Every structure is written in structure tokens, then in C-alpha cells.
Amino acid sequence: MIRIVSQSVPDAVRGALQAINDGDSDGLRNCFHHQAVIDELGRLIIGTEAIRLWCIELFERRGATVSNAMIVNESPVRTAMRARVGWDGADESPGTFTFDVENGLITMLRISD
């Protein structure tokens, strides 16, 4: 479960984190700009359709879980979060999620170790 305590986290990031909590792939996709890019450990997912498919994969095929999330750096345009992430039933491992936001939507999400 992701809990947001900071009031300055952008609404798009709040929405994305809530969608992750809820396992809501449509809700997560809707937080992204239509030309957004996700960099998942070097794998680039670009644009609305690719992000839609990534969201489905994230929740329905990979069974993603996120816990122990903590915002580590934030500004109106960039928010970084450390969390433990699990895929495909594997043990959770730490990761960093950095969200770039413009005009109320996520334009870039970087996922790294």
C-alpha cells in the first residue's frame, strides 16, 4: 500500500500512485501525457498505446506489488520515490521511481534499481 503524506506531490503522481494501489491499469494510463515515455530499467515504453499495454502487463500478467513507498525528492515538476517492488510472485526488491510532470500529466517515468 502506498501512502502519500506530502501535500506538494503533483496530482498526476498522486493519481498514478492511487491507481497502483488499486491495481487500476486505466487509471494509471490516464495519468500520462499521450507522448509520455516510461524508462523501465532501460526498456523504453513510448506513447499512449504502448503505456496502455504496459499497464495491462504490469497488473494482469506480472502481478505487480508495491510496498514501503517513500517520497525521497519532490518539486512541482519532478518527484522521486523509493519503494519495494515485486513482479511475477518474486520477492520484493528496492527500486526508484522518478516522475516528470508537465501541464498536469506525467511526461516521463524512470524506473531504476
Structural domain of 71: 11-112
Enter the pTM of the model: 0.82
Residue 4 within any structural domain of the chain = no
The pLDDT value given to residue 39 = 95
Q: Based on the structure, what is the number of domains in the chain?
A: 1
Residue 6 within any structural domain of the chain = no
Residue 1 within any structural domain of the chain = no
Mean pLDDT of the chain: 82
What proportion of the chain, given as a percentage, has pLDDT over 90?
28
pLDDT tens readout for residues 76-100: 788 888 777 766 666 666 788 889 9
49 has pLDDT over 80 = yes
The three-class DSSP label of residue 97 is strand
Residue 98 within any structural domain of the chain = yes
Question: Across residues 52-58, what is the average pLDDT?
Answer: 86
- Give me the CATH number covering residue 32: 3.10.450.50
The DSSP-derived string for the chain is ------S-S-HHHHHHHHHHHHT-HHHHHTTEEEEEEEEETTEEEESHHHHHHHHHIIIIIS--EEEEEEEEEE-SSEEEEEEEEE-TTPPPEEEEEEEEEETTEEEEEEEE-
Residue 3 within any structural domain of the chain = no
